[in-house]
Structure 1
Amino acid sequence: MTRKPPTPPRGRGALSQPDNRFESQKRESVEEGAEEQSLRTQFLPDAARTIINRNNSPDVGFSLSINPYRGCEHGCVYCFARPTHSYLGLSPGLDFETRIFFKQDASSLLRVELSKKGYRCEPIALGINTDSYQPVEEKMGITRSILEVLEEFSHPVTIVTKSSLIERDIDLLAKMARKQLANVFLSIPTLNEELSRSLEPRAAAPWRRIEVIRALTAAGIPTGVLVAPVIPVLSDHELEKVLREAREAGAISAGYVLLRLPLELRELFGEWLDFHVPLSSQAVLARMREFHGGKLYDPGFGERMRGSGPLAELLEQRFRIIKRKLGYREMPVLETSLFRPPSALSRGRLFPDFPG
């Protein structure tokens, strides 16, 4: 007998709470209707000692990043960062979108790190794993405080978001953009409102993200669009339409990322498919295997974001053609030469709790 997929809690992307991969025992809920309850989000302080993350992945365009939050209330079921909640002893499922950790000392930590002797300025990517403008940011303002420090130090930043809350910070971003210190990408995987509501239940609606592109562009902030993720069968046919509408709104640069299904995400996304689009579920997974040589996912650099083989080549060709036709170009290079850390004379004023 085919097992009926669980019912998702209201306003959430994941349907269940699977154990993380580090658990030695697996638990299964037997209480009927338990998944239907509305779950409250918990916000927990993250006692981080550093704020800048460093990576050397050859298939991403940055080496420094900051994530003000761990976990994301947007609840995007496809989020490749979900498995990172396993390192906290939590589930990549509903825990990821209901147990949010916030870095309350982010701006202070950033001041310290940027002021270290020998710090080398490179563009910082803000909110790459989880959205730095998720709903709780409206109350906490951690991302705003980070931008204030970056603006003060003339440090370049690039932002990826799917939230309209970024409009709150147009004043800062426009000021930085005038010195070529900021750019923004809006992530828009689909323009289908119904599909978006189930894929990314607490993110801004697609039409609203298009409006954000228009507002940022009007303020002089270089803005691009990321069609991320491209989901075979469900949304890949929208690639040209998303790029066209974003370009009409003012986007100057564009990119795309194929759906990624690492670790526990394979089970979570499979559940979502079975519940929301049961007639397309097997077709989506079969197509993903075609992109990855028979596997659902290939974690290799280069392969993980694009896939390989004929289908991957066709998708890349479609992207290049529409990008050229619409006049997209590369983002202006962010300026690093303007970076100025606090002078030695001001260290005592800026960092009263740290020895000079």
Structure 2
Amino acid sequence: MNDDSYLKGRGAQRNTNNKFSAYSNEFRDDFLEFCHLEGEIADDNKTQYIPIFPKTIVNKVKSPDVGMNYSMNMYQGCEHGCIYCYARNAHEFWGYSAGLDFERKILVKQDAPVLLEAKLKSKSWKAETIVMSGNTDCYQPAERKFKLTRKCLEVFLKYRHPVGIITKNALILRDLDILKELSAHGLIGVNISVTSLSEETRRMVEPRTTTIKKRLEAIGVLSAAGIPVNAMLAPIIPGINSHEILKLAKAVSDQGAVSMAFTLVRLNGAIGEIFTDWIRKALPDKADKVLHQISECHGGSLNDSRFGIRKKGQGKIASQIHDMFDLAKRMYFKDKKFPTLNTGLYETYRDGQLKLF
């Protein structure tokens, strides 16, 4: 990173305009000069936690290629700052930017455990795995303060309801006690994201995430405790981490992961602009090559929104990535399989244990 303007500790390097807003903002040179002369800070780069109070917490997932039917998110926005994150666009619906606002304005659903319990007590609800972090990481830094993920896990355990977790933070080990209890009933499946084995790469593309070492250790601890772990090698970014597939697969398999999956990066909505601005500052010598290779995987564009194709890509580079992934599965995940979670206990526990009498 040889650009003096690079904002360290964040993924996005600026706020892009919100497509739903008639207004835009920019840091003008005259304003920055005024701040300098007055000894003021133009941007303190601090994270804000903003409470919000939605009426529901469990969302029906309508996209047919996501691999889940229901998700819930205790937080909107994510301080991890992953530069490629598809969830950035959702921040625009709240009136914020998909850029720095996504990483610095974290919306906190403080009633999440109450809303979840109301959903599970509903007479019309049929047990089906609900995935925490379908949008933003449930173990992002905000969780240390608010503990909403832990409280929601307690609700899932109370009602013996299956739950999935997607995270890239070793903070999940804080809740190992609850996870073990859920696992004893076949109620939990964990997905750990491991994007690279290089700390330098991790710091650039996922600046405020857990180190690779600690993520691998988390897979090992969870697996040793009998908790099934799927490793998410995602996203694969041509020219950045695409050469690591075999080494990544071996590393997560060695730690006990029972399955793995991957997605090919796609830069939908505002993310294309955010990623392009970032890579020209973070990796100026590689920027054109990486952007061209991503485009080659999506028919000449940085994004392809077609279901079933958008996460897989097309073309020679995409085919090479798929072939490498298939080889990695044959080498390191033969005869391994992620289990189906248990939906059979919920009906008994929906109303406590009254049905037993």
**TM-score under structure 2 length normalisation:** 0.92
Q: Deviations over 1:10-61 (max 9, x none)?
A: 3111100111111224433213588985411110111110010101211111
Write out aligned runs for 1:99-138 (5 A): 99-138=105-144
3-state SS of the aligned residue for 2:174?
A: helix
Further displaced range: 319-328 or 100-109: 319-328
Aligned to 1:350: none
Asked whether the equivalents of residues 5 and 271 of structure 1 are also in contact (C-alpha less than 8 Å), the reply is no
> Is residue 208 from structure 1 mapped to residue 205 from structure 2 by the alignment?
no
Task: Tell me how many residue pairs correspond in the alignment.
Answer: 343
> Is residue 332 from structure 1 mapped to residue 330 from structure 2 by the alignment?
no
> Is residue 10 from structure 1 mapped to residue 8 from structure 2 by the alignment?
yes
Further displaced range: 337-346 or 271-280: 337-346
Residue identity opposite 2:351 in structure 1: S
CA distance in 1, matches of 2:240, 2:351: 54
CA deviation after TM superposition for structure 1 residue 314, in Å: 2.1
CA distance in 2, matches of 1:44, 1:38: 17
Percent identity among equivalent residues? 38
3-state SS of the aligned residue for 1:255?
A: strand
CA distance in 2, matches of 1:243, 1:315: 13
3-state SS of the aligned residue for 1:145?
A: helix
Asked whether the equivalents of residues 8 and 16 of structure 1 are also in contact (C-alpha less than 8 Å), the reply is no
Asked whether the equivalents of residues 3 and 282 of structure 2 are also in contact (C-alpha less than 8 Å), the reply is no
Which of 317, 323, 337 is the aligned partner of 1:311?
A: 317
3-state SS of the aligned residue for 2:253?
A: helix
3-state SS of the aligned residue for 1:159?
A: strand
Aligned to 2:38: none
CA distance in 2, matches of 1:313, 1:279: 25
Aligned to 1:283: 289
Q: Deviations over 1:76-130 (max 9, x none)?
A: 1111100111001111111001100111111111111111112111101111210
Write out aligned runs for 1:22-33 (5 A): 22-31=20-29, 32=32
Residue identity opposite 1:21 in structure 2: K
Aligned to 2:52: 46
Asked whether the equivalents of residues 219 and 229 of structure 2 are also in contact (C-alpha less than 8 Å), the reply is yes
Asked whether the equivalents of residues 10 and 37 of structure 1 are also in contact (C-alpha less than 8 Å), the reply is no
Aligned to 1:146: 152
Asked whether the equivalents of residues 174 and 220 of structure 1 are also in contact (C-alpha less than 8 Å), the reply is yes
CA deviation after TM superposition for structure 1 residue 194, in Å: 0.9
CA distance in 2, matches of 1:8, 1:47: 35
Asked whether the equivalents of residues 266 and 294 of structure 2 are also in contact (C-alpha less than 8 Å), the reply is no
Asked whether the equivalents of residues 10 and 36 of structure 1 are also in contact (C-alpha less than 8 Å), the reply is no
Aligned to 1:343: 351
3-state SS of the aligned residue for 2:18?
A: coil
3-state SS of the aligned residue for 2:107?
A: strand
CA deviation after TM superposition for structure 1 residue 327, in Å: 2.4
**Unaligned 5+ runs, structure 1:** 347-356
Aligned to 2:176: 170
Aligned to 1:353: none
- Alignment root-mean-square deviation, CA: 1.9
**Unaligned 5+ runs, structure 2:** 36-40
Residue identity opposite 1:103 in structure 2: K
CA distance in 2, matches of 1:254, 1:345: 37
Which of 15, 18, 21 is the aligned partner of 1:20?
A: 18
Asked whether the equivalents of residues 14 and 268 of structure 1 are also in contact (C-alpha less than 8 Å), the reply is yes
CA distance in 1, matches of 2:352, 2:214: 45
CA distance in 1, matches of 2:15, 2:4: 10
Asked whether the equivalents of residues 11 and 82 of structure 2 are also in contact (C-alpha less than 8 Å), the reply is yes
**TM-score under structure 1 length normalisation:** 0.92
Write out aligned runs for 1:54-69 (5 A): 54-69=60-75
3-state SS of the aligned residue for 1:304?
A: coil
Q: Deviations over 1:201-241 (max 9, x none)?
A: 11001111001101111111011211111010011001111
Asked whether the equivalents of residues 166 and 193 of structure 2 are also in contact (C-alpha less than 8 Å), the reply is yes
Residue identity opposite 1:166 in structure 2: I
Residue identity opposite 1:215 in structure 2: V
Asked whether the equivalents of residues 238 and 290 of structure 2 are also in contact (C-alpha less than 8 Å), the reply is yes
